[in-house]
């Protein structure tokens, strides 16, 4: 799935078009609904006003008919009222309740819900008074009432509804097109061109180029955005150049370190071996063997050449760690590895009280690397034991998230707090030269743990010695 395809499917233009259509439809529907509600209210008011006007137009003749009880005149009055299409029935009665005349119109055809919208049978009535009713001296002589059907008003109303729906759709479509055109021209179109330039710059292997500011957007927000992005691109170009130079420098440094390791493995070791060999040859000569001073000097040369060889070997091991896969898809059992290290220690570990606080976890570390780490820590504890008490070593581990925290404790000579950070450095020794060692053990252990993503530090041991605390990754569950 390419970046451009993702851009097309999830583009702002598509979402913009969708939302513009939705907003335009909602706005058009609300506007049409408001217009229809206003028309409905006006139509309802118009029916009442027309009914009042119809009653007022025949009120005088109806009063005369009711006063004289003239049924013929009453019939003529009602027949005149039925000339109005909306009047479905008319009734004229005297004051005593006598029905003088009644006229009915056939029920109009059509959906009853249309007529019911404005009232299928709305009754309007007016009392008939002979004399000066406004002065309170008139005599009530009868009652005139009409029944108005909402059907005719509904037909006219729904004709207007159809017209309004058509006009509303056209109005909505025009509004949506105008909104799309304006937003596409002012916002979406320029942003799309900017996005396409960014996508082109993001392609693997593409040269990072400056993004052109869309026309007429030099000073607005889009222009400011593009200007700032161009500044970022210039900075990114510089960072890329610096990164490439740094990578090249690291490659040269790594090559030099690798070459140094090869030199140390071959060229440095050979002179030290020759020094030791020739010192032994000279010690074998009888005339030198009788000279105490010569014998002491040759013994010193032999000892120091062997120490130099050990130092070169340890430095080579330290450099080689950078090229080893400390944490791999391979896993190792910490219990089995510790037991192998104890077996390899042989007589040095004899009569030593060693406790493994099981269960000890499986680790996502190469077996060879784990063997080297545990071997260094075990050798360190055996080498620096306390002269006045039997050596006791205890190894335990506890889970912490996706890692295991190990505690490698002994009751040996210990390390003073002020030297605990120092002994993790290269070739650091705090004991006399009479005790064999190169000062690289804890430095190697610290680097192995660091390459596995962990940390190593030193604490007081529970019985007065030292406790090496470090963490390693737990085995990844498949």
CATH number at residue 56: 3.30.450
Same domain, 23 and 116: yes
Give a yes or no: residue 96 inside a domain.
yes
Same domain, 162 and 224: no
Task: Count CB neighbours of 390 within 10 A.
Answer: 10
pLDDT tens digits along 251-295: 787 777 667 666 666 666 677 777 777 777 776 776 666 677 777
Q: Which sign does the torsion angle of CA 334, 336, 338, 341 carry? A: negative
Same domain, 104 and 164: yes
Give a yes or no: residue 213 inside a domain.
yes
Same domain, 215 and 107: no
pLDDT at 468 over 80: yes
What is the reported pLDDT for 445?
94
122-130 and 403-410 as β-strands: parallel, antiparallel, unpaired? Answer: unpaired
Lowest mean pLDDT among 69-73, 130-134, 145-149, 465-469: 130-134
Tell me the residue length of the chain.
478
* Average pLDDT score over residue span 376-393: 90
pLDDT at 367 over 80: yes
Contact between 352 and 319 (Cβ < 8 Å): no
Contact between 139 and 130 (Cβ < 8 Å): yes
Same domain, 239 and 283: yes
Same domain, 236 and 107: no
* Average pLDDT score over residue span 111-136: 70
pLDDT tens digits along 152-172: 666 677 777 778 778 877 878
Mean pLDDT, all residues of the chain:
80
Give a yes or no: residue 230 inside a domain.
yes
Contact between 377 and 445 (Cβ < 8 Å): yes
pLDDT tens digits along 76-98: 888 888 888 778 889 999 888 88
Six token digits for residue 221 = 């927000």
Q: Give 460's strand partners.
A: 466
pLDDT at 458 over 90: yes
- Tell which wins on pLDDT, 211 or 378: 378
What is the reported pLDDT for 57?
87
Same domain, 286 and 381: no
Total tally of structural domains belonging to the chain: 3
What is the reported pLDDT for 161?
76
- Tell which wins on pLDDT, 44 or 372: 372
Same domain, 310 and 384: no
Domain boundary among 298, 323, 348: 323
Contact between 475 and 366 (Cβ < 8 Å): no
pLDDT at 117 over 70: no
Give a yes or no: residue 196 inside a domain.
no
Same domain, 219 and 128: no
Domain boundary among 273, 294, 323: 323
Band of pLDDT at residue 2, cut at 50, 70 and 90: very low
pLDDT tens digits along 194-247: 777 776 766 665 566 677 777 777 667 777 777 777 777 777 777 777 888 888
Percent of the chain with pLDDT over 90: 20
CA atoms of 416 and 423, how far apart (whole Å): 10
pLDDT tens digits along 58-80: 888 988 888 888 888 888 888 88
Six token digits for residue 359 = 């269960």
pLDDT tens digits along 393-449: 999 999 999 999 999 999 998 899 999 999 898 878 777 665 677 788 899 999 999
Q: What is the DSSP string of 93-147?
A: EETT--EEEEEE-PPPPS-HHHHHHT-SSEEEEEEEEES-GGGT--EEEEEEEEE
Same domain, 84 and 157: yes
Give a yes or no: residue 199 inside a domain.
no
CA atoms of 361 and 345, how far apart (whole Å): 22
CA atoms of 190 and 161, how far apart (whole Å): 42
What is the reported pLDDT for 14?
67
H or E stretch covering 198? helix 189-202
CATH number, position 348: 3.30.565.10
Give a yes or no: residue 177 inside a domain.
no
Give a yes or no: residue 195 inside a domain.
no
What is the reported pLDDT for 400?
93
Measure the N-to-C terminal CA separation of the chain; round to a whole number of Å.
28
Same domain, 314 and 387: no
pLDDT tens digits along 294-311: 777 777 777 777 777 777
Rg (CA), the chain: 53
- Tell which wins on pLDDT, 367 or 305: 367
- Tell which wins on pLDDT, 53 or 115: 53
Which residues constitute the domain of residue 419? 326-473
Give a yes or no: residue 353 inside a domain.
yes
Same domain, 229 and 313: yes
């Amino acid at each position: 799935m390419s970046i451009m395809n993702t851009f097309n499917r999830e583009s702002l233009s598509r979402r913009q078009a969708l939302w513009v259509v939705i907003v335009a439809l909602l706005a058009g529907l609300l506007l049409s609904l408001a217009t229809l509600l206003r028309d409905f209210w006006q139509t309802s008011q118009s029916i009442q006003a027309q009914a009042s006007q119809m009653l007022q137009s025949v009120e005088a003749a109806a009063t005369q008919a009711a006063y004289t009880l003239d049924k013929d005149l009453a019939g003529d009055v009602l027949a005149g009222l039925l000339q109005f299409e909306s009047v479905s029935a008319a009734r004229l009665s005297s004051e005593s309740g006598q029905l003088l005349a009644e006229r009915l119109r056939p029920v109009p055809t059509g959906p009853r819900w249309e007529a019911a919208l404005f009232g299928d049978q709305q009754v309007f009535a007016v009392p008939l008074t002979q004399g000066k009713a406004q002065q309170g001296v008139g005599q009530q002589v009868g009652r005139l009432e009409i029944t108005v059907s909402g059907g005719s008003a509904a037909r006219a109303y729904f004709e207007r509804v159809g017209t309004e729906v058509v006009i509303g759709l056209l109005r909505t479509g025009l509004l949506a097109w105008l909104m799309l055109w304006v937003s596409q021209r002012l916002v979406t179109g320029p942003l799309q061109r900017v996005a396409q330039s960014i996508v082109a710059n993001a392609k693997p292997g593409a040269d990072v180029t400056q993004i052109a500011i869309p026309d007429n957007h030099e000073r607005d927000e889009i222009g400011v955005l593009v200007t700032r992005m161009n500044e970022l691109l210039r900075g990114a170009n510089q960072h890329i150049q610096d990164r490439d130079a740094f990578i090249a420098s690291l490659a040269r440094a790594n090559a030099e370190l690798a070459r140094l390791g090869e030199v140390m493995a071959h060229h440095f070791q050979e002179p030290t071996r020759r020094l030791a060999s020739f010192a032994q040859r000279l010690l074998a000569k009888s005339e030198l063997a009788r000279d105490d001073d010569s014998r002491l000097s040759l013994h010193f040369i032999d000892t120091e050449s062997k120490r130099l060889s050990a130092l070169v070997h340890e430095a080579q091991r330290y450099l080689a760690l950078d090229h080893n896969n400390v944490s791999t898809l391979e896993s190792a059992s910490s219990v089995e590895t510790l037991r192998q290290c104890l077996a390899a220690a042989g007589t040095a570990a004899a009569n030593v009280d060693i406790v493994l606080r099981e269960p000890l976890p499986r680790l996502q570390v190469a077996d060879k690397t784990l063997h080297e780490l545990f071997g260094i820590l075990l050798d360190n504890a055996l080498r620096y034991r306390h002269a006045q008490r039997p050596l006791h070593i205890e190894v335990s581990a506890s889970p912490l998230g996706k890692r295991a925290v190990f505690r490698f404790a002994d009751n040996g000579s210990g390390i003073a707090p002020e030297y605990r950070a120092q002994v993790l450095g290269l070739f650091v020794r705090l004991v006399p030269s009479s005790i064999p060692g190169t000062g690289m053990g804890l430095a190697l252990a610290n680097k192995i743990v660091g390459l596995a993503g962990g940390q190593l530090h030193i604490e007081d041991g529970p019985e007065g010695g030292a406790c090496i605390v470090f963490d390693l990754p737990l085995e990844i569950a498949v």
